[in-house]
Amino acid sequence: MLVVINYGSQFAHLIARRVRELGVYSEIVPSGITANRLKEMQPDGIILSGGPSSVYEKGAPLIDKGIFKFGIPILGICYGLQLIGNSFGNVDGRNVKEYGKAILHIRKKGRLLDGLGKDEAVWMSHGDSISSLEEGFEITASTDTCEMAALENNSRKIYGVQFHPEVVHTKSGMRILKNFVFSICHAKKDFTMAGMKERLIQDIKKEVMGKGVLMATSGGVDSTVAATLIHEAIGSRLHCIFIDHGLIRKGEREEVDRLYRERFENYYSVDASAPFLKKLAGISEPEQKRRIIGHTFIEVFEAKAKELKKNHPEIAFLGQGTIYPDRIESAQPSKNASKIKSHHNLTLPEKMHLRVIEPLKELYKDNVRELGKMLGISNHILYRHPFPGPGLAIRILGEATKERIQILKEADFIFIEELKKSGYYDRVWQAFAALFPIKSVGVMGDARTYDYIISLRAVTSVDAMTADWARLPDSLLEKISSRIVNEVRGVNRVVYDITQKPPGTIEYE
């Protein structure tokens, strides 16, 4: 087993996931963990994650220096490396900072960088750097602006990299982690998704203990897999509710109703579009829209829950399909994490008299899909593109009016339909249309138009923590643009978004 100490990085769970991909169980612990508690866990190795802090700023999360005395191999990543520097040398703020792609120049491969080439593409995200280290540490790699980009101290079993090996942009990142996990830590392969499936089912049975579970389901990958997993554990004691808030895709409700009525004994479909649209009137700020949708969702869900509990008093739990990217972008994994955006599902427990159960909370999307296959869920469901809980409201920049929602539904339907026809739907991680709250001049026939702009977004990704824009054929984009402009009343211009994540996010709001 390996332990990842979380210092607030947006990639802390990604590190743990990479270790699990290597077939080794990994567990995340908070930054305040003591040396004694860590020793009790008996890990084969310890990884110190990155984080948004500077080691020398007031209140920065630090490390119990007793951890360095165990003789257990330690790998510091980014901020984790700076914690090593702070304990065995000095760390300074830099005038030259590194964010994004950099070229790593290997001085000495050593144990950690064994198997790498002379120059390697890596992904950097740091403002501070180590300026000096005591004897025993050897610099094994540098970049043009960071001298100590990788180092090791074999006698102390301490290793570190200033870049992020866990992200896909670091081309040999998995080789580096593999070297640490197996060559340095000598960990054993003991983790499989098949084993996790059985463990999760047993955990649900143990936690629920004969009670019922109420679950908000969207028809998406996450909620479907979570509901199916819970159903596998407790059967008809699961009650699924689908709430149509008027912000879903064209034809979505009909498809979800059919899907869930076939799969679950107890399924309830609620049309609540009117109250949602009424409360969103005049609201443009993204976080305010999310909060309104979240709070209204609670009100509608709670009303239905009270109705169901009259006939099913055994209901005591609220099931959620929350996966790790939902939690990590809401700054849930660590008190040191920087909040990117709120996630409305995570606010549900505040007004519900139900205990929350989130069986997928430690998993990423590809893990969820693998689990779904084991549960017998069709690829049609498992490989649907992600759809945000707040729906089209956060794909309409500005106020989500009834007119704008209808325009976006039609434009998005055309985009997805053409992607599926061309075979590109399954080649991208996520694709959708967004509506800009501004109008541009156009010409249709002999008439001047003044209509909305639709932005098309399609990205490739592995885990949604980083993403690149999809290189769709010009001919396909031309066809999609032509159809939208000609078939969707109120649109006269279509653009294609080529922003990566980071610096952008996949969604607009």
Residue 206 C-alpha from the chain's centroid: 27
Q: Which candidate in 13, 98, 146, 164 is catalytic?
A: 164
Q: Which candidate in 98, 152, 166, 329 is catalytic?
A: 166
Give the CA angle between residues 252, 258, 264 to the nearest 5°. 120
The full DSSP string for 328-365 is HTTT-S-TTSPP----GGGGGGGG-SSEEE-TTTT--H
Alpha helices in 392-443, H assignment, sequence order: 402-422
Q: Which candidate in 13, 78, 252, 370 is catalytic?
A: 78
Active site residue 240: no
Distance CA 346, CA 342 (A): 8
Kindly report the number of other CB atoms within 10 A of residue 87's CB atom: 18
Cβ proximity of 126 and 98 under 8 Å:
yes
Cβ proximity of 395 and 435 under 8 Å:
yes
Residues 6+ apart with CB under 8 A from 84: 48, 74, 76, 130, 158, 160
Residues 6+ apart with CB under 8 A from 96: 145
Exposure string for 2-20, b = 16+ CB within 10 A, e = fewer:
bbbbbbbbbbbbbbbbbbb
Distance CA 402, CA 276 (A): 11
Residue for token digits 């434009």?
411
Active site residue 164: yes
- Of 367, 370, 348, 381, the residue nearest 216 (C-alpha): 348
Residues 6+ apart with CB under 8 A from 472: 424, 458, 496
- Of 137, 157, 152, the residue nearest 44 (C-alpha): 157
Percentage helix, strand, coil for the chain under 3-state DSSP, each rounded to 5: 40, 25, 35
Distance CA 391, CA 290 (A): 10
Q: Is the dihedral of CA 296, 302, 307, 308 positive or negative?
A: positive
Active site residue 166: yes
For residue 123, report the phi and psi dihedrals to the nearest 5 degrees. Answer: -115, 120
**Positions marked catalytic:** 78, 164, 166
